[in-house]
C-alpha cells in the first residue's frame, strides 16, 4: 500500500473540482484504489509514452490522474510498496501532453 504524495499542481487541479461533488467522489475512489492496490484493474493504469517516469490512472471516461512511483525494483518494474507522487488531474489529451 503506497503512500500518496500530492504535488502543488495536483492540489491546484483538485481545487478546480471542489464544486463538482460527483467528480470529487470519482477522484476519491480512484485515489482509494491507487493507495490500496495500484494494479487494480479498474484503474486502467498505463505508462505515459512521452514521459519515462509518469503513469496514469483512469478517473472516468474523460479524466485521468498522472503519477510517478518513487522507487523501482531491480527488474525495472515500479515498487508499489513505496510512495507514489501524484502529479496532475487533467482530461486525457491534456494529461498526455503535460503529465507533470
Q: Which three cell numbers stand for residue 18?
A: 471542489
Contact residues for 82 (Cβ-Cβ < 8 A; gap 6+): 2, 69, 70, 71
CATH of residue 91's domain is 3.30.2310.20
**pLDDT tens digits, residue range 39-69?**
999 999 999 988 888 999 999 999 999 999 9
What is the number of structural domains in the chain? 1
Confidence at 2, pLDDT banded by 50, 70, 90: confident
**Do β-strands 46-47 and 84-91 pair in parallel, antiparallel, or remain unpaired?**
unpaired
Closest CA relative to residue 62, chosen from 91, 35, 25: 91
Q: pTM score > 0.75 for this model?
A: yes
Q: Which domain holds residue 90?
A: 4-97
Backbone angles phi, psi at 66, to 5 degrees: -100, 150
Amino acid at each position: 500500500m503506497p503512500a500518496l504524495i500530492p504535488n502543488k499542481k495536483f492540489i491546484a487541479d483538485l481545487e478546480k473540482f471542489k464544486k463538482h461533488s460527483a467528480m470529487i467522489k470519482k477522484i476519491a475512489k480512484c485515489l482509494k484504489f491507487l493507495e490500496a492496490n495500484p494494479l487494480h484493474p479498474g484503474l486502467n493504469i498505463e505508462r505515459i509514452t512521452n514521459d519515462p517516469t509518469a503513469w496514469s490512472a483512469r478517473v472516468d471516461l474523460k479524466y485521468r490522474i498522472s503519477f510517478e512511483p518513487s522507487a523501482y525494483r531491480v527488474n525495472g518494474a515500479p515498487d508499489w510498496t513505496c510512495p507514489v507522487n501524484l502529479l496532475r488531474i487533467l482530461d486525457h489529451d491534456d494529461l498526455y501532453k503535460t503529465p507533470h
